[in-house]
Amino acid sequence: MPPSGRILFIFVDGIGLGADDALANPFANPWAGFEALSSGRRWTSPGASAGVSEPDSLFRGIDACLGMNGLPQSGTGQASLFTGVNCVELAGRHYGPFPHSASRDVLREQSLFARLADRGAAFANAYPPRFFNWVNRTKRWPTTTRACLDAGIRIRTIEDLQAGRGIAADVTGAGLANELGLPVDVVGPEEAGDRLLALSSDHAFTMMEVFHTDKAGHAMNAESAHRILRPLDGLLAHLASHRPGDLTIVLSSDHGNLEDLSIKTHTRNEVPLAVLGPGAGLFESVVDLTGVAPAVEAVVRGPAA
């Protein structure tokens, strides 16, 4: 692989590798975009069991429990995923949805945004005014935005989305336009993908977060799950087919949930790690959430990082 490269990290909240049961697991159905990142493997536990390990492609399940009993949660899971530190161990338990106080310093100093700010880092998501009103009132920042705030990474607004400089968490912006009544254009997955690729061309590290997946899992609603996954699948298909040669796409999650709609809670299932691009080989040793951030940094800085 080249001495250094660019990373586009798609973080999808609350997706694990579950049973090959289409009644309970939306991922037991074919998804062309997801499977473009996994060499055609289905995103289920059986589909990932053999793994994919090719020069430019890797797909496997990784552990999200990190040695702790109980159900993995977003706060400690995301902090572990984004820093490479076992924040579950620091907290002494799984904790969420917000970052645990025990991981506060780690998140500030060791998140991917903090570690890669000198190379150029961006968070692609654009947020509506009510998000900023809420965090200003409660002072409770979700893990990704907390890490951005600490690292001096700009958190994008509706104005950025209107100007094509950001992306909505539901990919298309339909929720912002139709449910919140905000003046944003609803775009197709392909245009959203082009925006994301343009943003990633200007930065060594770019992240997008999709959080509606976790909400759909808690709702136990198959129709809602498919409605959320369709535009994301289209986005992934576009990214895979239009990926520049020096860009490595990484997709992973913090804990399972959506893969088992028969229960309302998170799961202890492994979560997917899919890597497409020249940096795939640097993820070979990743077995749990804490291995992802060091591998991302190694791609951006070069294997000696």
- Cα distances from 223 to residues 28, 212, 216, 226, in angstroms, run 14, 13, 9, 5
The pTM assigned to this predicted structure is 0.96
Dihedral class, residue 229 (left if φ above 0, else alpha if ψ from -120 to 50, else beta): alpha
Q: Which two tokens stand for residue 76?
A: 């400690």
Helices assigned H by DSSP within the chain: 32-36, 45-49, 74-83, 87-91, 104-110, 112-116, 129-138, 143-151, 158-162, 174, 189-201, 212-219, 222-242, 292-301
Q: What is the pLDDT of residue 303?
A: 64
Q: How confident is the model at residue 50, as a pLDDT?
A: 86
Q: Please tell me the predicted confidence (pLDDT) of residue 1.
A: 40
> What string of pLDDT tens digits covers the 305 residues of the chain?
444 799 999 999 999 999 999 999 999 999 999 999 999 999 999 999 989 999 999 999 999 999 999 999 999 999 999 999 999 999 999 999 999 999 999 999 999 999 999 999 999 999 999 999 999 999 999 999 999 999 999 999 999 999 999 999 999 999 999 989 998 999 999 999 999 999 999 999 999 999 999 999 999 999 999 999 999 999 999 999 999 999 999 999 999 999 999 999 999 999 999 999 999 999 999 999 999 999 999 999 986 65
Q: Counting Cβ atoms within 10 Å, is residue 39 exposed (0-12), middle (13-18) or buried (19+)?
A: middle
Q: What is the set of domains in the chain, with CATH numbers?
A: 6-301 (3.40.720.10)
CA atoms 69, 286, 255, 39: torsion sign: negative
